[in-house]
């Protein structure tokens, strides 16, 4: 009887001990962060900057390793993460604007649902359009000089996040030919550097690190940003590049302010919000216990107070800080919706213009 009682107490002690350790993340030594894009793009730079800080503020301070899983405009990596990643916190995922576009357009290859995944944090980002100096244009007021020139843009695909710049080109009446098949924005930038494309855009993190040096060498000319959102939902100048006009400024200058009230511009703004206002998400798989979600969110709050992070974040992330908790949940819930009539116009326009089908 005494031995049975001792055994029972031992089992109860183990159960109690395990329940007190619900914040344990994975095996406490190694975390994988699935980035569904190639190395060198904005998402890759963003994650590699954040990863060591996150590891520092997690229980047991594990190593957070970035694992690039490109393919399908991010669908390969995100589908795998959603369907197969363990829900013990040892693998986290990332979605970006391209992932959101496939979701919003109802792509049949999408195997994930945002409302099933657990948000760690969201970060807004910006984007900057730049062109080759060989085109002879030095600012947005000279865009008419581009008409009649051969213009090429390295694109991931018409239904990726590139729908934001491609629709912007259309609204500005710029005959820019997208060259589809890029594996990520990093590939698009390399195409620009090789001279295969003469128009490109990069998200803020890649722009600051990879494109600003090109501008300083006279190899690229910045034209405009996509903009940022204020607290009332208005598009304003991007605080990271405040000297550049945002797209809607340029469009109103080129065609008059009345164009801002058209359906096409409202559709562009809807896509911009989904693709940039909460563009980069760090996520946990479906079924992850709340205690593990809490550990990751607390790690995010911890890194935002880290002096080294505070000093270096503006150089890499621009002026965009992670959004954690209820505010982040509300932001992605609002962004990842689209009016049915907007979706119909987009699918018709994509097919008519690029023979791109949303399947």
**pLDDT tens-digit series, residues 259-288:** 999 999 999 998 998 888 888 899 999 999
120 within 8 A of 290, measured Cβ to Cβ: no
Quote the pLDDT of residue 23. Answer: 52
Q: Do 287 and 271 have their domain in common?
A: no
Any bridge partners for residue 152, and if so which?
A: 177
DSSP 208: I
Rounded to an integer, what distance in angstroms lies between the CA atom of residue 225 and that of residue 159? 20
Q: Is 51 domain-assigned? A: yes
136 and 192 share a domain? yes
Residue at which a domain ends, from 228, 253, 275:
275
| Residue 350 maps to a domain | no
Residue 359 covered by a domain: no
Looking at the fold, whether 163 and 239 belong to one and the same domain comes out as yes
Domain membership of residue 357 (yes or no) is: no
- What's the confidence (pLDDT) of residue 219? 98
Contact 191, 204 (CB under 8 A): no
CATH of the domain at 172: 3.40.190.10
Q: Residue 25: what pLDDT?
A: 63
Shared domain for 59 and 20, answered yes or no, is yes
What was the pLDDT predicted at 87?
93
- Please check whether residue 229 lies inside any domain of the structure: yes
Q: Collect the ranges in the chain with pLDDT lower than 70.
A: 1-28, 359
| DSSP H helices in 85-121 | 97-104
Instruction: State the residue for tokens 């496939």.
Output: 102
> Do 169 and 237 fall into the same domain?
yes
Query: Does residue 188 sit in the same domain as residue 120?
Result: no
Residue 104 lies in a domain: yes
Are the CB atoms for 123 and 321 separated by under 8 Å? yes
Both structure tokens of 104: 């919003």
Cβ-based neighbours of 55, under 8 Å, separated by 6 or more = 31, 61, 62, 63, 64
| Domain identity same for 246 and 197 | yes
User: How many Å apart are CA 237 and CA 218, to the nearest integer?
Assistant: 24
CATH code for the domain in which residue 99 is found: 3.40.190.150
* 308 and 208 housed in the same domain: no
* Domain end point (choices 260, 275, 290): 275
Spatial separation of the C-alpha atoms in residues 82 and 26, rounded to whole Å: 17
The model carries a pTM of 0.74
Tokens for 348, please give them.
């018709």
Domain co-membership, 136 together with 250: yes
Structural domain includes residue 153: yes
Neighbours of 109 (CB within 10 A): 13
Q: pLDDT at position 201, please?
A: 96
- Tell me the HSE value of 14 on the side-chain side, using a 13 A CA sphere: 5
In the prediction, which pLDDT does 28 show?
61
Cα 321–chain centre separation: 13
In sequence order, the 6+-apart residues with CB closer than 8 A to the CB of 143 are 137, 172, 174, 223, 250, 254
User: Can you give the pLDDT at residue 26?
Assistant: 56
- Residue 132: inside a domain: yes
Whether 132 and 248 share a structural domain: yes
Q: How many angstroms separate the CA atoms of 23 and 18, rounded?
A: 10
The H or E element spanning position 45 is helix 42-57
Which pLDDT belongs to residue 177?
Answer: 94
Domain with 171 in it: 127-275
Indicate the residue among 252, 275, 298 that finishes a domain: 275
Report the number of distinct structural domains present in the chain. 2
**Given this model, what pLDDT does residue 279 score?**
82
What's the longest Cα–Cα distance across the chain? 94
Contact of 82 with 112, CB cutoff 8 Å: yes
Residues 249 and 199 in one domain: yes
Residues 133 and 234 in one domain: yes
């Amino acid at each position: 009887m005494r031995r049975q009682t001792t055994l029972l107490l031992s089992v109860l002690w183990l159960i109690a001990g395990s329940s007190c350790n619900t914040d344990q993340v994975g095996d406490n030594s190694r975390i994988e962060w699935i980035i569904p894009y190639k190395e060198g793009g904005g998402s890759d730079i963003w994650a590699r900057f954040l990863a060591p800080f996150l590891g520092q503020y997690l229980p047991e301070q594990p190593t957070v390793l970035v694992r690039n899983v490109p393919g399908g405009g991010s669908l390969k990596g995100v589908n795998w993460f959603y369907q197969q990643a363990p829900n013990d916190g040892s693998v986290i995922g990332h979605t970006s604007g391209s992932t959101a576009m496939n979701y919003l357009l109802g792509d049949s290859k999408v195997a994930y649902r945002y409302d099933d995944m657990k948000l760690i944090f969201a970060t807004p980002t910006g984007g900057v359009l730049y062109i080759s100096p060989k085109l002879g244009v030095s600012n947005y007021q000279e865009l008419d000089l581009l008409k009649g020139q051969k213009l090429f843009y390295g694109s991931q695909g018409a239904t990726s996040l590139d729908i934001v710049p491609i629709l912007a080109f259309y609204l500005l009446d710029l005959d820019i030919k997208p060259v589809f098949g890029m594996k990520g924005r990093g590939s698009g930038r390399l195409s620009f550097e090789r001279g295969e494309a003469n128009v490109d855009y990069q998200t803020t993190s890649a722009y600051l690190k990879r494109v600003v040096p090109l501008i300083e060498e006279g190899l690229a000319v910045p034209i405009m940003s996509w903009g940022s959102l204020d607290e009332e939902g208005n598009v304003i100048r991007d605080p990271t590049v405040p000297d550049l006009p945002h797209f809607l400024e340029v469009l109103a200058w080129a065609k008059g302010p009345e164009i801002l009230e058209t359906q096409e511009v409202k559709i562009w703004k809807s896509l911009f919000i989904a693709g940039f206002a909460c563009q980069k998400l760090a996520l946990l798989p479906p079924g992850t216990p709340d205690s593990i979600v809490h550990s990751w969110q607390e790690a995010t709050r911890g890194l935002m107070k880290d002096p080294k992070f505070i000093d270096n974040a503006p150089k890499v992330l621009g002026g965009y800080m992670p959004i954690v908790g209820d505010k982040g949940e509300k932001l992605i819930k609002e962004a990842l919706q689209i009016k049915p009539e907007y979706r119909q116009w987009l699918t018709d326009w994509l097919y008519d213009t690029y023979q791109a089908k949303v399947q």
